[in-house]
Chain A
Amino acid sequence: MTTNMSRHLLLVEDNEVNREMLQRRLQRVGYTLDCAADGQEALDKMRDVKPALVLLDINLPVKDGWTVAKEARSDSDIQDIPIIALTAHAMESDRQQALASGCRDYATKPIDFPELVIKIENLLTA
């Protein structure tokens, strides 16, 4: 597989509909993706695949997004992988919690797709 790892993302989302939708849209604009449906799977795949960036839903089974972000920050193998939190919680406190737990950026559902792409590009080229 000739994957360009600098454009390889990990999408963590438990809602199947939303996962498929986002996967297709990101693939369409040129990213390659791995997907995970719960928090533990997300951490495992981050360690295995070493994606360039993680899109992390917060409401996850097994381990929620905050826990995943914190564990990732304390693991030297994967602590540099930037994480963008995706959540349907739209309160200011949620944004602050996302940044506090180590996420580099934050996007609210429903996702503004062009804006999400800009955020991804900002982090990938930084």
Chain B
Amino acid sequence: MKLSQTSLSLRARLYLFSMAILTLFVVNVATHLWGSFARSESLVAYRDAAVAAQLVNDLQQGLESARQQTLVLATLRETTDEPLGDAERETATAELDTLRQRLGKLGALGGESTEDYYRRLFDSGSQLLDEWQAFYNNYNRLSSQSSVESPIQYNDTWQKLNELEQRQEALAIERSRTIDGTITLTDQITVIGFITTIAVTMLLVILLIRSTNSSLLRLKTGVQRFGSGDLSYRIDENRDAGEIQDLARTFNDMSGKLSTAIEEVNSSKADADAANAAKSMFLANVSHELRTPLNAIIGYSEMLQDELGDPGEVNREQVQHDLGTIIISGRQLLGLINEILDLSKIETGKMQINLESFQPAAHILQVCDALSPLLSQHKNTLELNLVGAEGHTMHSDPGKLQQIVTNLFSNACKFTDNGTIVVAAEISQDQLTLTVTDDGIGMTAEQQGRVFDTFVQAGATTGTKYGGTGLGLSIVKDFCAMLGGEISLTSTPDAGSCFTVTLPTIGPASNPEAA
């Protein structure tokens, strides 16, 4: 049976099952009815046969009695010649009528198969009765014995009656045989049908339970597998049809959505964890960066206090230099704090853009001049190539352009030893292209991928080794975006990095929300 393999809906299975049971039931009822009908048929046949036998018997007795009477009368007539009374004749006539009626009744019982026999009996019997009637009618007028009825007609009628009886008997036996056969057959059919019905019903029930069970088991397995964390598990939708397939499909839809949601939650949790780790790292780095200038400020102040307490001449030049160091360190500290504030403003979308017309070349030059002390720290030289931008004016935020140049330039100085830093700018097609190139330590592809992320530095130990908060490039990238431009990077480890900033010469009209 292929029921368990074919895809039938639960409803179809139940319908099919019910139809099969109903069909079997109808067959059983039909055979039962057939058997009942055969039984009643046989009952009718036996009754008919009994009635017919009774009638034949009555008729025989009647005929015999009437014959005896006519014989007695005939003898009496011969011996006494006494006439027959009216009352006696009427009684005899009534008896003959009764016989006639019985003869008629017998005709009503016979079918086609006995018709010939009956017809012959009827003809013969009618003639006999007519003769007897005539005997009674003419009794008083008769004088001779010859007019008395002869036994020939009586014997003929008697014979015909016997023939009919025998025929009826044979027919009844034949009929009862047929009916008995039918009853046996219907009984067999009923028993076989009953047993078959039980067997088929049980088979269908088992198949229905098994197929439904296996469908439900697939669903259960799916729910269990998914529930225990196998998020990619899906139920085979094609194994079922109808409601269970719908259920499987709905479950798969739900699984898909759930696993997407879970993946999203996991990925946002990972993101949040990474952001948290980056912030902790950032705090450690900020702490480190704040402590370095503070060390100078506190150290020099304490030292000056101590030295001024010493006896002897005050070295004014020395004091002036020391105070200068304190001031520079203080400004460094301020710059750092401003950087953190900038980032906070960008993050909360409160960073303003101050648009004005300016000459970018002049501003870039100004920044490079101001930062030239950084070059000497790592014995680097600067190459400036601003020819392509000279004389051009742009309408943007000069403060942010300066900040961009400052951060890129100081980064280049920080990561390059005994090298050359090239700052180039040109304007063409309403676009400023600024490149800051160094031949320093460079970055791997993986480092390049995250170097613009907030709080992140190229290497985990970069902060320890080179200082910095991991904010500079993040701020540069945000500023570029705010001014409608972008920043890109090419770099090779141990060969250097090249940052390229492109900005439209006409800055954004409105102040967009910072990214």
A residues adjacent to B (C-beta < 8 A)? 15, 17-18, 21-22, 24-25, 28, 58-59, 61, 64, 88-91, 108-111, 113
Contacts and interface: CB of A to CB of B under 8 A. Distances in A.
Given A64-B465, A91-B284, A17 B306 contact: no
A90 B300 contact: no
Contact of B300 (A15, A21, A61): A21
Interface residues of B, number: 24
Nearest to A94: B284
Interface string B375-419: 000000000000000000000000000000000000000000100
B465 A28 contact: no
A89 B296 CA distance: 15
B288 A89 contact: yes
A89 B329 CA distance: 18
A100 to B, nearest CB: 16
A24 B464 CA distance: 26
Nearest to A86: B295
User: Chain A at the B interface: mostly helix, strand, loop or mixed?
Assistant: loop
A76 to B, nearest CB: 29
B450 interface: no
A17 B464 contact: no
B307 A22 contact: no
Contacts of A59: 288, 464-465, 467
A88 B325 CA distance: 18
A113 to B, nearest CB: 6
Given A17-B325, A17-B329, A64-B465, A109 B303 contact: no
A58 B292 contact: no
B298 interface: yes
Nearest to B300: A21
Interface string B293-332: 0111111101100110000000000000000010011000
B89 interface: no
A109 B284 contact: no
B272 to A, nearest CB: 22
B312 to A, nearest CB: 12
Contact of A25 (B288, B303, B464): B303
A77 to B, nearest CB: 27
B300 A110 contact: no
A113 B325 contact: no
A21 B300 CA distance: 6
A109 B300 contact: no
Contact of B292 (A25, A64, A109, A113): A109
Interface of B: 284, 287-289, 291-292, 294-300, 302-303, 306-307, 325, 328-329, 417, 464-465, 467
A49 to B, nearest CB: 24
A111 to B, nearest CB: 6
A102 B465 CA distance: 20
A109 B329 CA distance: 14
* Closest 10 pairs between A and B when the two form their complex, measured CB to CB: A88-B291, A109-B295, A110-B295, A110-B298, A88-B288, A21-B299, A109-B291, A110-B294, A17-B296, A25-B303
Contacts of A91: 284
A90 B287 contact: yes
A110 B287 CA distance: 11
Given A21-B303, A59-B465, 13 more contacts: A18-B299, A21-B296, A21-B325, A24-B303, A25-B306, A59-B464, A59-B467, A61-B417, A88-B295, A90-B287, A110-B294, A110-B299, A113-B302
Contacts of A24: 303
Nearest to B280: A91
Contact of B296 (A18, A58, A64): A18
B291 A64 contact: no
A61 B288 CA distance: 16
A18 B292 CA distance: 8
10 contacts: A21-B299, A22-B299, A24-B303, A25-B306, A88-B287, A90-B291, A110-B295, A110-B299, A111-B299, A113-B299
A19 to B, nearest CB: 10
A18 B325 CA distance: 10
A59 B307 CA distance: 29
A10 to B, nearest CB: 19
A89 B299 contact: no
Contacts of A64: 464-465
Contact of B294 (A22, A89, A109): A109
Contacts of B291: 88, 90, 108-110
A25 B299 contact: yes
Nearest to A21: B299
B323 to A, nearest CB: 13
A69 to B, nearest CB: 14
A18 B306 CA distance: 17
A88 B288 CA distance: 5
B318 to A, nearest CB: 9
A60 B49 CA distance: 134
Contacts of B303: 21, 24-25, 28
Contacts of A89: 284, 287-288, 464
A61 to B, nearest CB: 8
Nearest to B307: A28
Contacts of B292: 15, 18, 88, 109
B464 A28 contact: no
B282 to A, nearest CB: 13
A74 B465 CA distance: 23
Contacts of A90: 287-288, 291
A7 B206 CA distance: 100
B94 to A, nearest CB: 144
Contacts of A28: 303, 306-307
A111 B303 CA distance: 12
A85 B287 CA distance: 17
A57 to B, nearest CB: 10
